[in-house]
């Protein structure tokens, strides 16, 4: 369907991928994964044609229709109504519908046979293309995405970022292109909608690529995984869980190969150092030196070369009661959000506000910080300093600034060195602090906005979906630091892992009032008994044993007077062993080459069996090498 061959791509000399390869075949359901900033969105932009590929080849099937959901909401500006935006996913039908309306109008005033025929043809085609089902289908998608019926006529640009994203997703789903590219589609969705999307994609007849940091979502929607890491693309067959298992296997194999090679190198070096000065061993030493030169060194790539360490300090300690909410009322038109809601936030509370979209969670956060007018009373406690992180903070970043200027806008209390330190904690190091906000990836923008929240040193943080856009690693570091945070926390999140790691209280809105469960998310779930906790199955680990002593060595021990025959026998044996080792090396090489073959690397079973053969061969080689070394030592001594 689409082939990218031997392609490289760079921004200002910094390569995201080098000589990478990707073939997308019909009906593949692909998860595109990788840490923040590795180049996932850029890759989708290359495929969709938004960026031009300058190094390498891309070939596409003729007339390949590509639909792309951009991660960056800033680029979305639609004046049309929600319904029209979604329906415009079928441009062919929009055009036919216009033609039909025009012809009908013309026939009304100016009847003629030709027009009537045209109308008949247009209507027939309209029917064939599914036109009579089109609007209903569009509305069904909108309903699934959670749009209230009364919103369908509203101009899309009046809606919040999250809802805009949903409508555009709806448009793409209706379009059903040959290749659907979705960049972090679940970022703005609540749980029921995520589940709806999972089901929708399961029924979806087509090829798609989804970028996501959500393991559960990926597990339910993809049958292949492509990972962007170390400037390469790694291809895996299976869902996200099997990708993680295989990746672990690969890393372990690499680690074993690395260790074996290091052992081998050490032995050779020892030998060389020991016998370097002996003229009688010159040839043997020389051959070792040559061998060492020839070896292709295995390099272990840093797994997570990221020292990401954030600490949320507080400037002053607040009173015991951080916020008191009394008798809050709020509605948007007919939509009643709060009706007499009350609640109390105490020092040390880490409260997760959970529940479906549209229940008013973000509204409640804004009410607490005082940016949303409401009826009732919100009283912040003694010495409380609140700081707010929200999705719109990302949109409020000044795209023209570079990072260091942008973070400097928060407070004049910090000098450049301190600002760099804060940025460093959020993984922006070296020259990166001069990057323009405009070019940051989704996750990088989130980290910057979080850094801005952090340097306020407030003792009360209100966070609206803080893990959106963050990769699993960053989300986990954030959870850890919020755990250690000495202040109080009220946060909205749909990220189940994150909530259970951070929250010590759960809030949700029911019938217009705030309900509280005074415990962790897991306890809450148990109490609600709506969730089955899955235990990961433990697999026994196979351990290999390496033969450590050679029979030859035992035989020779204590045998001082060595016959010429024996020495010749050793020499023959050494020669044979060297031959055997060489042939195993060849086999190992072949296996490594095979493993890089696309067919194999994307077939988990084939790959695993190769890994196993490789492991056994490597063990065999190790044993032979040990035998050879010990005979060689005897031989040298005898000489």
Ligand X SMILES: Nc1ncnc2c1ncn2[C@@H]1O[C@H](COP(=O)(O)OP(=O)(O)OP(=O)(O)O)[C@@H](O)[C@H]1O
Residues that bind Mg ion (CB under 5 A): 40-41, 71, 441-442
- List 22, 28, 41, 145, residue binding ligand X (CB under 6 A): 41
Start-to-end CA distance of the chain, whole Å, equals: 66
Element (H, E) at 474: helix 472-484
Site string for ligand X, 468-507 (x = CB under 6 A): -x-x------------------------------------
For the record, the structure tokens of 58 come out as: 């891309």
- Nearest approach in angstroms of CB 26 to ligand X is 25
Site string for ligand X, 301-320 (x = CB under 6 A): --------------------
Site string for ligand X, 51-80 (x = CB under 6 A): --------------------x---------
441 forms part of the interface with ligand X (CB under 6 A): yes
- Nearest approach in angstroms of CB 176 to ligand X is 24
Judged by beta carbon distances under 5 to 8 A according to partner kind, the member of Mg ion, ligand X, none in contact with residue 11 is: ligand X
455 forms part of the interface with ligand X (CB under 6 A): no
Interface stretch with ligand X, choices 9-17, 62-70, 508-516, 594-602 (CB under 6 A): 9-17
Calculate the alpha carbon distances from 14 to 9, 17, 431, 565 in Å: 8, 9, 12, 63
448 forms part of the interface with ligand X (CB under 6 A): no
What is the number of the residue whose Cβ is closest to ligand X? 443
- List 2, 29, 30, 36, residue binding ligand X (CB under 6 A): 36
E strand segments, 198-251: 207-211, 224-229, 232-237
Q: Give one word for 397, left, alpha or beta, with left for phi > 0 and alpha for psi -120 to 50.
A: beta
DSSP-derived 3-state class of residue 542: coil
- List 20, 42, 363, 525, residue binding ligand X (CB under 6 A): 42
Residue 41 or 459: which CB sits closer to Mg ion?
41
Q: Are 33 and 240 in contact (CB under 8 A)?
A: yes
170 forms part of the interface with ligand X (CB under 6 A): no
Residue 38 or 550: which CB sits closer to ligand X?
38
11 forms part of the interface with ligand X (CB under 6 A): yes
How many angstroms separate the CA atoms of 134 and 68, rounded? 21
Chain-centre distance for alpha carbon 519: 30
**Cβ–Cβ contacts within 10 Å for residue 317, how many?**
11
- Nearest approach in angstroms of CB 251 to ligand X is 20
427 forms part of the interface with ligand X (CB under 6 A): no
- Nearest approach in angstroms of CB 384 to ligand X is 33
- Cβ partners under 8 Å of residue 80, min gap 6: 88, 155, 156
For the record, the structure tokens of 299 come out as: 């390099």
Residue 21 has φ and ψ, to the nearest 5°, of -145, 140
Judged by beta carbon distances under 5 to 8 A according to partner kind, the member of Mg ion, ligand X, none in contact with residue 469 is: ligand X
Residue 449 has φ and ψ, to the nearest 5°, of -65, -35
For the record, the structure tokens of 192 come out as: 């029921």
- Nearest approach in angstroms of CB 493 to ligand X is 18
Q: Are 327 and 308 in contact (CB under 8 A)?
A: no
How many angstroms separate the CA atoms of 364 and 369, rounded? 9
DSSP-derived 3-state class of residue 296: coil
What is the number of the residue whose Cβ is closest to Mg ion? 41
Contact residues: ligand X, CB under 6 A: 11-12, 16, 34, 36-42, 71, 435, 439-444, 469, 471
């Amino acid at each position: 369907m689409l082939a990218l061959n031997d392609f490289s791509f760079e921004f200002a000399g910094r390569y995201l991928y080098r000589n990478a390869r990707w073939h997308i075949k019909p009906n593949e359901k692909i998860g595109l994964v990788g840490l923040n900033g590795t180049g996932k969105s850029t890759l989708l932009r290359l495929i969709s044609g938004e960026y031009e590929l300058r190094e390498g080849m891309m070939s596409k099937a003729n007339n390949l229709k590509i639909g792309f959901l951009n991660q960056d909401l800033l680029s979305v500006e639609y004046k049309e109504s929600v319904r029209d935006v979604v329906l415009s996913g079928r441009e062919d039908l929009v055009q036919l519908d216009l033609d039909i309306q025009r012809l009908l109008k013309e026939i009304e005033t100016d009847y003629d046979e030709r027009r009537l025929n045209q109308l008949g043809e247009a209507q027939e085609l309209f029917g064939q293309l599914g036109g009579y089902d089109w609007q209903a289908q569009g509305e069904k998608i909108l309903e699934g995405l959670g749009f209230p019926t009364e919103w369908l006529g509203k101009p899309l640009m009046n809606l919040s970022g999250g809802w805009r994203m949903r409508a555009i997703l709806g448009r793409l789903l209706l379009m059903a292109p040959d290749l659907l590219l979705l960049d972090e589609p679940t970022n703005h969705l609540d749980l029921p909608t995520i589940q709806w999307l999972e089901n929708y994609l399961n029924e979806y007849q087509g090829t798609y690529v989804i970028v996501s940091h959500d393991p559960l979502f990926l597990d339910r929607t993809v049958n292949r995984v492509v990972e962007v890491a170390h400037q390469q693309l790694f291809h895996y067959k299976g869902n996200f869980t099997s990708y993680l298992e295989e990746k672990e296997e690969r890393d372990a194999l690499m680690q074993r190969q690395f260790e074996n090679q290091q052992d081998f190198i050490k032995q050779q070096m020892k030998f060389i150092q020991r016998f370097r000065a002996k003229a009688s061993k010159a040839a043997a030493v020389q051959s070792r030196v040559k061998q060492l030169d020839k070896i292709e060194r295995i390099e272990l790539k840093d797994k997570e070369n990221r020292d990401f360490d954030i600490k949320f300090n507080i400037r002053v300690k607040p009173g015991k009661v951080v916020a008191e909410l009394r008798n809050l009322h709020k509605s948007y038109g007919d939509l009643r959000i709060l009706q007499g809601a009350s609640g109390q936030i105490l020092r040390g509370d880490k409260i997760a506000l959970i529940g479906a979209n549209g229940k008013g969670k973000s509204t409640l956060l804004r009410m607490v910080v005082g940016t949303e007018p409401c009826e009732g009373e919100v009283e912040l406690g003694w010495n409380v300093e609140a700081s707010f992180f929200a999705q719109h903070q990302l949109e409020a970043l000044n795209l023209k600034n570079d990072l260091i200027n942008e973070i400097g806008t928060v407070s004049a209390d910090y000098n450049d060195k301190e600002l760099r330190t804060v940025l460093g904690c959020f993984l922006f190091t070296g020259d990166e602090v001069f990057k323009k906000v405009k070019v940051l990836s989704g996750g990088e923008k989130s980290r910057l906005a979080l850094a801005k929240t952090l340097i306020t040193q407030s003792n009360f943080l209100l966070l609206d979906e803080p893990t959106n856009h963050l990769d699993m690693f960053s989300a986990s570091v954030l959870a850890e630091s919020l755990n250690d945070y000495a202040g109080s926390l009220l946060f909205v999140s749909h990220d189940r892992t994150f909530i259970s790691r951070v929250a010590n209280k759960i809030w949700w809105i029911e019938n217009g009032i705030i309900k509280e469960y005074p415990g962790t998310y897991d306890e809450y779930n148990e109490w609600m008994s709506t969730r089955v906790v899955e235990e990961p199955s433990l697999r026994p680990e196979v351990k290999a044993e390496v033969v450590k002593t050679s029979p030859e060595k035992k035989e020779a021990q204590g045998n001082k007077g060595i016959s010429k025959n024996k020495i010749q026998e050793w020499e023959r044996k050494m020669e044979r062993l060297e031959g055997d080792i060489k042939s195993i090396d060849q086999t190992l090489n072949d296996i490594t080459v095979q493993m890089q073959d696309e067919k194999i690397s994307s077939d988990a079973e084939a790959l695993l069996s190769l890994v196993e053969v490789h492991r056994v061969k490597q063990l065999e080689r190790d044993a032979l090498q040990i035998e050879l070394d010990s005979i060689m030592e005897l031989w040298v001594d005898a000489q």
